[in-house]
Amino acid sequence: MRQIIIITFLFLVSISGNAQLFTKKKVLNNENFDKPRVSWGYFLGMNNYDYNFDYISDTYDIQTEKSFGFNVGLIGNFRISDYFDIRFEPGLIMSNRNLVFNPLQFGEFEYNENLHFREIKSTYIHFPMLLKISSKRVNNFKPYLLAGISTALNLSSKENSVDDNSLGQFRTKKNVFFYELGFGIDLYLEWFKFSPSIRGVFAISDEHVDDNDPLSPWTSNIDFMKTSGILINFTFQ
Protein backbone atom coordinates (compact mmCIF):
# COMPACT_ATOMS: atom_id res chain seq x y z
CA MET A 1 0.00 0.00 0.00
CA ARG A 2 2.88 2.36 0.84
CA GLN A 3 4.31 1.94 -2.67
CA ILE A 4 0.95 2.74 -4.24
CA ILE A 5 0.64 5.98 -2.23
CA ILE A 6 4.18 7.03 -3.17
CA ILE A 7 3.65 6.33 -6.88
CA THR A 8 0.34 8.21 -6.93
CA PHE A 9 1.85 11.12 -5.00
CA LEU A 10 4.71 11.38 -7.49
CA PHE A 11 2.18 11.28 -10.33
CA LEU A 12 0.20 14.17 -8.86
CA VAL A 13 3.37 16.15 -8.11
CA SER A 14 4.47 15.59 -11.70
CA ILE A 15 1.19 17.04 -12.95
CA SER A 16 1.63 20.05 -10.68
CA GLY A 17 5.20 20.55 -11.82
CA ASN A 18 4.27 20.43 -15.48
CA ALA A 19 1.45 22.87 -14.89
CA GLN A 20 3.84 25.30 -13.22
CA LEU A 21 5.79 25.53 -16.47
CA PHE A 22 2.84 27.49 -17.81
CA THR A 23 2.34 29.93 -14.95
CA LYS A 24 2.63 32.85 -17.38
CA LYS A 25 -0.22 31.57 -19.48
CA LYS A 26 -3.03 34.15 -19.69
CA VAL A 27 -5.90 32.07 -21.07
CA LEU A 28 -7.91 30.29 -18.38
CA ASN A 29 -10.08 27.27 -19.14
CA ASN A 30 -13.52 27.40 -17.51
CA GLU A 31 -12.64 30.58 -15.66
CA ASN A 32 -15.97 30.71 -13.82
CA PHE A 33 -16.33 26.97 -13.26
CA ASP A 34 -16.17 27.20 -9.43
CA LYS A 35 -18.58 30.14 -9.09
CA PRO A 36 -21.90 28.22 -8.75
CA ARG A 37 -22.86 27.40 -5.18
CA VAL A 38 -23.75 23.79 -6.08
CA SER A 39 -22.12 21.58 -8.71
CA TRP A 40 -22.29 17.91 -9.70
CA GLY A 41 -20.06 15.25 -11.16
CA TYR A 42 -19.06 11.61 -11.06
CA PHE A 43 -15.96 9.54 -10.34
CA LEU A 44 -14.32 6.31 -11.40
CA GLY A 45 -11.41 4.68 -9.64
CA MET A 46 -9.82 1.77 -7.87
CA ASN A 47 -9.14 0.72 -4.31
CA ASN A 48 -6.78 -1.46 -2.32
CA TYR A 49 -8.28 -2.55 1.03
CA ASP A 50 -6.61 -4.35 3.92
CA TYR A 51 -7.70 -5.66 7.33
CA ASN A 52 -5.93 -4.73 10.57
CA PHE A 53 -6.33 -6.95 13.64
CA ASP A 54 -6.07 -6.46 17.38
CA TYR A 55 -5.82 -9.73 19.28
CA ILE A 56 -6.94 -10.82 22.73
CA SER A 57 -3.69 -12.72 23.26
CA ASP A 58 -0.37 -12.56 21.41
CA THR A 59 -0.27 -15.80 19.42
CA TYR A 60 -0.49 -16.14 15.63
CA ASP A 61 -1.23 -13.29 13.23
CA ILE A 62 -3.89 -13.54 10.55
CA GLN A 63 -2.46 -12.63 7.14
CA THR A 64 -4.45 -10.61 4.62
CA GLU A 65 -4.01 -11.11 0.88
CA LYS A 66 -5.12 -7.92 -0.91
CA SER A 67 -6.18 -7.15 -4.45
CA PHE A 68 -7.37 -4.10 -6.36
CA GLY A 69 -11.06 -3.30 -6.50
CA PHE A 70 -13.29 -0.86 -8.37
CA ASN A 71 -15.02 2.42 -7.35
CA VAL A 72 -17.78 4.36 -9.07
CA GLY A 73 -20.10 7.07 -7.80
CA LEU A 74 -21.57 10.56 -7.92
CA ILE A 75 -20.45 13.90 -6.50
CA GLY A 76 -22.44 16.71 -4.99
CA ASN A 77 -20.31 19.77 -4.20
CA PHE A 78 -21.42 22.75 -2.09
CA ARG A 79 -19.11 25.77 -2.29
CA ILE A 80 -18.62 27.64 0.98
CA SER A 81 -15.93 30.01 -0.30
CA ASP A 82 -13.12 30.12 -2.83
CA TYR A 83 -11.09 27.80 -0.62
CA PHE A 84 -13.61 25.60 1.19
CA ASP A 85 -16.21 23.14 -0.13
CA ILE A 86 -18.43 20.49 1.40
CA ARG A 87 -18.51 17.38 -0.78
CA PHE A 88 -20.86 14.38 -0.68
CA GLU A 89 -19.65 11.37 -2.69
CA PRO A 90 -22.07 8.41 -2.56
CA GLY A 91 -20.59 5.47 -4.41
CA LEU A 92 -20.17 1.75 -4.89
CA ILE A 93 -16.90 0.17 -3.75
CA MET A 94 -16.08 -3.46 -4.53
CA SER A 95 -13.10 -5.15 -2.91
CA ASN A 96 -11.80 -8.65 -2.36
CA ARG A 97 -9.57 -9.82 0.50
CA ASN A 98 -8.38 -13.26 1.58
CA LEU A 99 -7.62 -14.24 5.17
CA VAL A 100 -4.91 -16.84 5.74
CA PHE A 101 -4.74 -18.47 9.20
CA ASN A 102 -1.66 -20.12 10.67
CA PRO A 103 -2.17 -23.92 10.86
CA LEU A 104 -0.50 -23.95 14.31
CA GLN A 105 -3.48 -21.98 15.59
CA PHE A 106 -5.54 -25.10 14.86
CA GLY A 107 -2.99 -27.49 16.35
CA GLU A 108 -1.90 -28.60 12.89
CA PHE A 109 1.35 -28.49 10.95
CA GLU A 110 0.14 -28.67 7.35
CA TYR A 111 -1.82 -26.04 5.46
CA ASN A 112 -5.41 -27.01 4.62
CA GLU A 113 -7.21 -24.52 2.38
CA ASN A 114 -10.65 -25.53 3.61
CA LEU A 115 -9.68 -24.72 7.20
CA HIS A 116 -7.01 -22.04 6.93
CA PHE A 117 -8.20 -19.88 4.02
CA ARG A 118 -11.23 -17.57 3.88
CA GLU A 119 -12.21 -15.36 0.95
CA ILE A 120 -14.06 -12.16 1.89
CA LYS A 121 -15.82 -10.29 -0.88
CA SER A 122 -17.11 -6.84 0.07
CA THR A 123 -19.55 -4.64 -1.80
CA TYR A 124 -19.88 -1.33 0.01
CA ILE A 125 -22.47 1.38 -0.55
CA HIS A 126 -20.22 4.21 0.61
CA PHE A 127 -21.45 7.57 1.98
CA PRO A 128 -18.59 10.02 2.68
CA MET A 129 -19.05 13.62 3.80
CA LEU A 130 -15.83 15.53 3.10
CA LEU A 131 -14.35 18.97 3.63
CA LYS A 132 -12.33 20.08 0.61
CA ILE A 133 -9.63 22.68 1.33
CA SER A 134 -8.22 24.21 -1.85
CA SER A 135 -5.25 26.41 -2.56
CA LYS A 136 -5.43 29.44 -4.85
CA ARG A 137 -5.94 28.52 -8.48
CA VAL A 138 -2.80 28.90 -10.61
CA ASN A 139 -3.82 29.13 -14.24
CA ASN A 140 -5.51 25.77 -14.93
CA PHE A 141 -4.69 23.74 -11.86
CA LYS A 142 -5.47 23.87 -8.14
CA PRO A 143 -4.22 21.42 -5.44
CA TYR A 144 -6.51 20.52 -2.56
CA LEU A 145 -6.79 18.46 0.63
CA LEU A 146 -9.72 16.29 1.72
CA ALA A 147 -10.80 15.25 5.22
CA GLY A 148 -14.03 13.82 6.55
CA ILE A 149 -16.06 10.94 7.87
CA SER A 150 -18.09 8.24 6.18
CA THR A 151 -20.30 5.24 6.70
CA ALA A 152 -20.75 2.23 4.48
CA LEU A 153 -23.30 -0.53 4.08
CA ASN A 154 -21.63 -3.85 3.24
CA LEU A 155 -24.05 -5.78 1.05
CA SER A 156 -21.84 -8.89 1.27
CA SER A 157 -21.48 -9.01 5.05
CA LYS A 158 -23.49 -12.18 5.90
CA GLU A 159 -23.85 -10.72 9.41
CA ASN A 160 -27.19 -12.40 10.02
CA SER A 161 -26.28 -15.75 8.45
CA VAL A 162 -26.41 -18.81 10.72
CA ASP A 163 -23.44 -20.28 8.81
CA ASP A 164 -20.08 -19.44 10.34
CA ASN A 165 -16.49 -20.57 9.84
CA SER A 166 -17.34 -24.14 10.77
CA LEU A 167 -19.21 -24.16 7.46
CA GLY A 168 -16.61 -22.08 5.59
CA GLN A 169 -18.19 -18.63 6.08
CA PHE A 170 -16.30 -15.74 7.71
CA ARG A 171 -18.98 -13.21 8.66
CA THR A 172 -18.51 -9.43 8.78
CA LYS A 173 -20.74 -6.64 10.03
CA LYS A 174 -23.06 -4.81 7.70
CA ASN A 175 -22.47 -1.23 8.92
CA VAL A 176 -18.97 0.28 9.03
CA PHE A 177 -17.78 3.77 10.01
CA PHE A 178 -14.61 5.47 8.72
CA TYR A 179 -12.55 8.62 8.77
CA GLU A 180 -10.82 9.71 5.56
CA LEU A 181 -7.83 11.87 4.59
CA GLY A 182 -6.52 12.66 1.13
CA PHE A 183 -5.25 15.10 -1.48
CA GLY A 184 -5.69 15.80 -5.17
CA ILE A 185 -5.44 18.33 -7.98
CA ASP A 186 -8.18 20.11 -9.94
CA LEU A 187 -7.22 20.39 -13.61
CA TYR A 188 -9.35 22.84 -15.59
CA LEU A 189 -9.65 21.54 -19.13
CA GLU A 190 -11.40 23.20 -22.03
CA TRP A 191 -14.77 21.50 -21.53
CA PHE A 192 -14.73 20.11 -17.97
CA LYS A 193 -12.76 19.83 -14.73
CA PHE A 194 -10.71 16.67 -14.18
CA SER A 195 -9.50 15.83 -10.66
CA PRO A 196 -7.22 12.87 -9.83
CA SER A 197 -7.02 12.20 -6.09
CA ILE A 198 -5.83 9.66 -3.53
CA ARG A 199 -7.51 9.11 -0.18
CA GLY A 200 -6.81 6.98 2.86
CA VAL A 201 -9.82 5.24 4.42
CA PHE A 202 -9.63 4.03 8.05
CA ALA A 203 -12.39 2.14 9.85
CA ILE A 204 -13.22 3.12 13.45
CA SER A 205 -15.69 0.28 14.08
CA ASP A 206 -15.11 -3.44 14.58
CA GLU A 207 -16.15 -5.51 11.54
CA HIS A 208 -15.84 -9.14 12.56
CA VAL A 209 -18.72 -11.32 13.76
CA ASP A 210 -17.84 -14.02 16.30
CA ASP A 211 -18.50 -17.61 15.39
CA ASN A 212 -21.24 -19.51 17.19
CA ASP A 213 -18.63 -21.47 19.13
CA PRO A 214 -16.95 -19.15 21.68
CA LEU A 215 -13.77 -21.26 21.37
CA SER A 216 -13.66 -21.00 17.58
CA PRO A 217 -10.03 -21.03 16.31
CA TRP A 218 -11.02 -18.53 13.61
CA THR A 219 -12.54 -15.73 15.73
CA SER A 220 -12.03 -16.39 19.45
CA ASN A 221 -8.70 -14.50 19.53
CA ILE A 222 -9.88 -11.49 17.48
CA ASP A 223 -10.53 -8.44 19.63
CA PHE A 224 -10.94 -5.89 16.84
CA MET A 225 -10.90 -6.17 13.04
CA LYS A 226 -11.03 -3.04 10.90
CA THR A 227 -10.53 -1.98 7.31
CA SER A 228 -7.78 0.34 6.16
CA GLY A 229 -7.09 1.15 2.55
CA ILE A 230 -6.71 3.67 -0.20
CA LEU A 231 -9.06 5.04 -2.84
CA ILE A 232 -7.66 6.40 -6.10
CA ASN A 233 -10.41 8.34 -7.86
CA PHE A 234 -10.63 10.21 -11.14
CA THR A 235 -13.35 12.84 -10.93
CA PHE A 236 -15.15 14.52 -13.81
CA GLN A 237 -17.27 17.66 -13.32
Tens digit of each residue's pLDDT (9 = 90 or more) over 15-58 = 444 544 445 555 888 888 888 999 999 999 999 999 999 999 98
pLDDT at 224 exceeding the cut of 50: yes
pLDDT value of residue 172: 95
Q: Poorest-confidence range of 11-15, 101-105, 229-233?
A: 11-15
pLDDT of res. 106: 86
Measured CA to CA, the distance from residue 209 to residue 140 in angstroms comes to: 49
- The reported pLDDT for the residue numbered 5 is 47
**CA neighbor of 236 nearest in space, from 198, 186, 184:** 186
Neighbour tally for 9: CB within 10 Å: 12
> Which of 175, 170, 168, 86 lies closest to 126, judged by CA?
175
In this prediction, residue 27 carries a pLDDT of: 80
- Predicted local confidence at residue 6, as pLDDT: 47
124 vs 155: CA distance, rounded Å = 6
Contact 94, 141 (CB under 8 A): no
Fold of 2-236: Porin (2.40.160)
Q: What percent of the chain has pLDDT over 90?
A: 74
pLDDT at 130 > cutoff 80: yes
Per DSSP, 23 falls in state: T
Q: Lowest-confidence range among 58-62, 77-81, 150-154? A: 58-62
pLDDT for residue 104 is more than 70: yes
Kindly list the distances between the CA atom of residue 98 and the CA atoms of 73, 93, 95, 212, in Å, as whole numbers in the listed order.
Answer: 25, 17, 10, 21
Residue 11 has pLDDT above 90, yes or no: no
Domain boundaries, the chain: 2-236
| pTM score, whole prediction | 0.83
